[in-house]
Chains A and B, each alone.
Chain A
Amino acid sequence: MRIERIKKHKEYQINDKVDLSLIDALIAKYNGKKGNLIPILQGTQQTFGYIPNEAFVKIADETGLKLSDMYGVATFYAQFRLKPVGKYIIKVCHGTACHVQNANLITEALQEYLEVLDGETTDDRLFTLESVACLGCCSLAPAMMISDDTFAKLTGKEAVNIVKNIKIKESN
């Protein structure tokens, strides 16, 4: 759940070629089952990191699900993304416990270092910065999650250092 829905202040071109055959198996698995819309979208996002426009059309063609229904669902739930994201998604927790332990300072420090706003992706497509509502690590607040790793009891400086280290690792 994102506290602040993605607010893009810059549009970048999506030139990614999408291999739609990757979701053939997924469509076959769920086609015709009731209540399949969300699992199909979840599976598509897992495959591509987001839901490309072409995928919507393909799913509609092959399953008979309505484009309008799919788009309605994809924009309702915070989990779904319609644009590609960075290789690493930085989720800064803004749950109550993190909020009272100054989670804002972490987001601010990362925004300054990465030069992006909340919800945006860096130009090198390495990092996407997001605010989420509660990772469930309240006892270790303030916390953030990068990919599947959770980092606890942070300060702004520590958070920046963690991201710096990933960047160094990536440039090697």
Chain B
Amino acid sequence: MEKTKVIVGLGSCGIAAGAQKIYFKIESLMQTDKLDFELKKTSCIGMCFREPLVEIIDKNGSYLYGNVDEKRITEILEKHIKKNEPINEYVVSTKLFDTEDNKFFDAQVKIALRHCGMIDPESIEEYESQQGYAAIKKIAEEKISYEAIIQSILDSGLRGRGGGGFSTGMKWRFARNNKSDEKYIICNADEGDPGAFMDRSLLEGDPHAVLEGMIIGAYAIGATDGVIYCRAEYPLAIKRLNIAIEQAQQKGYLGKNIVGIEGFNFDIHIKEGAGAFVCGEETALIASVEGERGMPRKRPPFPAESGLWRKPTNINNVETFANIPWIICNGPAAYSKYGTEKSKGTKVFALAGKINHSGLVEVPMGISIRDIIFKLGGGIPNGKKFKAVQLGGPSGGCIPEFLADTIVDYDSVNATGAIMGSGGMVVMDETTCMVDIAKFFLNFTQEESCGKCTFCRIGTKRMLEILNRITEGKGEDSDIAKLEELAIQIKDNSLCGLGQTAPNPVLTTLKYFRDEYEAHIFAKKCPAKACKPLLTYEIIEEKCTGCTICAVKCPVKAITGERKQVHFINQETCIKCGDCFTRCKFEAISLQ
């Protein structure tokens, strides 16, 4: 009989929630109580809202325990392992009985994330046992030609998952057709969008799938060397990639004459990014790998023609590569049966913000945004109203509630003014101010503009100044028109994607939430009550008990009043810090 397995989810998010402590606790309990089971590690399964997660697989099946703390794990081991009595109320997901969170997994189709949270990412044997490296072996055994591989990827309809949505097969064909003695394949793991963590989870959870995707790509285009450009902010991903590369080299998946294919020599190196959002852009990324300032170059020539060290180069995103081995193993038709006419397959989304079930989901293209947020994401917390969802990070836009039935495919999302992007979905409720969000993203792109083009460098700065003014209550009548004019100029005249898309957050919020801008400018009010300078704090006379706490704590002594008498806020001196509002125990302070 197989040993019972206890598996702890040790992705970045799990560790942040305390999973490492749980792992040590299990280790020590295992010794002190002489328990007999196999203790294993895995990565993020996507259910971040229930971290830390511990899965127990016994003879009956799998039980996924959520929100595990040290007390709970002791109890779980005591009952489930020693007495063989699973504690059903702590189980968040299982195939054995109904749980509330089962539906989180039921609606998903896992292709790119097929191994995440299922295998130990630091073990090549576990990857191999799950069809790992089967695709590259199949290519060797069946002597599949590079042309046939490119055709398969074309037939699968796979489009670049980094945001651009360009056909991966076409990209490979361009790179193939350029003759050169040296060619490069680069994996873009510079996941810079604030609010996106798909690539991080994939690299931490299934590094070998990304490597195998790159190896197949290298074979298809004839690449001689591979580079993974990974953010330095992802130390765990880099560590696991290094382990994976070493294991793959030892097993002959990297190096000379890979899997016995005569003359197929290929190796992969990691380049750590140094923290520049613009390096997600292909040509800037190449400049950065070459050791220069990460500034975009003019295209054409495209990287497929003249890229890294002026040699033909193919760049794909992490998620794109993770899909490749699956497509080769299962055939392009199995992949293209999911999705819509022009967007095939599945897409990984990172759900965050004002949403109950934040985490990572993989869904077939064509599902509606509403379904993702309410069926998978469990809706909005604290009974608040769903207002908008931000897609595509700083290059994307806000999709309002009334367009939530938009389906996710590249073209439908583009039609709203947002972009699919790499898959970050940040949900906003009624307390989020849309002008503030636009300002937030513009502040980001303005900081991250590399400075090469005037329109991007100065234009975004001027837009940010206007937005700052608006949120401070100093908006002028002509501001909206000025914003629109600047936005169009920046879009039309910038060299790279960063500048061309930087105004999107402002344009989409202006399109769908113009009334909020107008309220800020003309009425000097923030409808979401988020922009502090536009708020007024007042004491509700009926509720004030005269406890004096607000008056004592007010940093500028703007509150006056006798003990047990109604207090009063002097609006002239009030600095709107909100301290009285958070401190009042009687809800006697109103916010307007």
Partners in one complex: yes
Interface residues of A (CB under 8 A from B): 1-5, 34-39, 41-42, 69, 72-73, 76-80, 94-97, 99-101, 132-141, 143, 148, 150-152
Which B residues lie within 8 Å of A38 (CB)? 271-272, 274, 288, 291
B13 contacts A139, CB within 8 Å?
yes
Bound complex: CA of A21 vs CA of B287, how far in Å?
Answer: 30
Q: 20 new A-B pairs (CB below 8 Å) besides A97-B194, A100-B432?
A: A1-B192, A1-B275, A2-B275, A37-B291, A73-B291, A97-B358, A101-B354, A133-B194, A134-B194, A134-B195, A134-B197, A135-B233, A136-B200, A136-B234, A138-B424, A139-B48, A139-B51, A139-B197, A139-B351, A140-B16
For B429, the closest partner residue in chain A by CB is A100
B51 contacts A140, CB within 8 Å?
yes
Residue B10 is within 8 A (CB to CB) of chain A in the complex? no
A96 contacts B426, CB within 8 Å?
yes
Shortest C-beta distance, B206 to chain A (Å), equals 16
The answer to whether residues A35 and B290 also contact, given A137-B197, A138-B352 and a CB cut-off of 8 A, is: yes
A96 contacts B274, CB within 8 Å?
no
B294 contacts A97, CB within 8 Å?
no
Bound complex: CA of A137 vs CA of B195, how far in Å?
Answer: 9
A3 contacts B13, CB within 8 Å?
no
B191 contacts A150, CB within 8 Å?
no
B390 contacts A5, CB within 8 Å?
no
A3 contacts B447, CB within 8 Å?
yes
A97 contacts B289, CB within 8 Å?
no
Partner of B358, one of A2, A4, A5, A138: A138
Which A residues lie within 8 Å of B292 (CB)? 37, 69, 73
Greatest chain A CB density within 10 A among B13, B294, B359 is at B13
A97 contacts B235, CB within 8 Å?
no
Bound complex: CA of A38 vs CA of B291, how far in Å?
Answer: 5
Cβ-Cβ contact count across A and B, 8 Å cutoff = 149
A96 contacts B195, CB within 8 Å?
yes
Q: For the complex, would chain B's binding face be called helix, strand, loop or mixed by DSSP majority?
A: mixed
B447 contacts A139, CB within 8 Å?
no
Binary flags per residue of B380-397, CB closer than 8 Å to A gives 1, else 0: 000000000010010000
A3 contacts B195, CB within 8 Å?
no
A78 contacts B274, CB within 8 Å?
yes
Greatest chain A CB density within 10 A among B293, B351, B428, B432 is at B293
The answer to whether residues A150 and B16 also contact, given A3-B444, A76-B294, A139-B359 and a CB cut-off of 8 A, is: yes
Which A residues lie within 8 Å of B235 (CB)? 148
Residue B276 is within 8 A (CB to CB) of chain A in the complex? yes
In B273-318, the 8 Å CB interface with A consists of: 274-277, 288-294, 309
Greatest chain A CB density within 10 A among B16, B437, B441, B443 is at B16
Residue B440 is within 8 A (CB to CB) of chain A in the complex? yes
Interface residues of B (CB under 8 A from A): 12-13, 15-17, 48-49, 51, 191-197, 200, 232-235, 271-272, 274-277, 288-294, 309, 350-354, 358-360, 390, 393, 424, 426, 428, 432, 437, 440-441, 443-444, 447-448, 450
Shortest C-beta distance, A136 to chain B (Å), equals 4
A4 contacts B440, CB within 8 Å?
no
A100 contacts B428, CB within 8 Å?
yes
Which B residues lie within 8 Å of A77 (CB)? 274-276, 294
Which B residues lie within 8 Å of A5 (CB)? 447
Shortest C-beta distance, B192 to chain A (Å), equals 7
A34 contacts B309, CB within 8 Å?
yes
Which B residues lie within 8 Å of A79 (CB)? 232, 274-275
B192 contacts A97, CB within 8 Å?
no
For B357, the closest partner residue in chain A by CB is A139
For B16, the closest partner residue in chain A by CB is A150
Shortest C-beta distance, B468 to chain A (Å), equals 13
Bound complex: CA of A74 vs CA of B573, how far in Å?
Answer: 44
The answer to whether residues A140 and B288 also contact, given A1-B275, A77-B275 and a CB cut-off of 8 A, is: no
B352 contacts A139, CB within 8 Å?
yes
For A73, the closest partner residue in chain B by CB is B293
The answer to whether residues A97 and B426 also contact, given A3-B443, A3-B444 and a CB cut-off of 8 A, is: yes
B390 contacts A1, CB within 8 Å?
no
For A141, the closest partner residue in chain B by CB is B352
A1 contacts B276, CB within 8 Å?
yes
A96 contacts B194, CB within 8 Å?
yes
For A75, the closest partner residue in chain B by CB is B293
Shortest C-beta distance, B104 to chain A (Å), equals 13
Which B residues lie within 8 Å of A1 (CB)? 192, 233, 275-277, 448
Partner of A42, one of B197, B232, B234: B232
B49 contacts A139, CB within 8 Å?
yes
Bound complex: CA of A159 vs CA of B437, how far in Å?
Answer: 24
- Rank and list the top 5 A-B pairs by shortest CB-CB distance, nearest first: A139-B48, A96-B195, A95-B194, A138-B352, A77-B274
Which A residues lie within 8 Å of B272 (CB)? 38-39, 42
Shortest C-beta distance, A7 to chain B (Å), equals 12
B16 contacts A151, CB within 8 Å?
yes
Shortest C-beta distance, B533 to chain A (Å), equals 13
A96 contacts B393, CB within 8 Å?
yes
Bound complex: CA of A149 vs CA of B580, how far in Å?
Answer: 33
Shortest C-beta distance, A25 to chain B (Å), equals 18
For B293, the closest partner residue in chain A by CB is A76
Shortest C-beta distance, A101 to chain B (Å), equals 7
The answer to whether residues A140 and B444 also contact, given A35-B291, A133-B194 and a CB cut-off of 8 A, is: no
For A93, the closest partner residue in chain B by CB is B194
Which A residues lie within 8 Å of B447 (CB)? 2-5
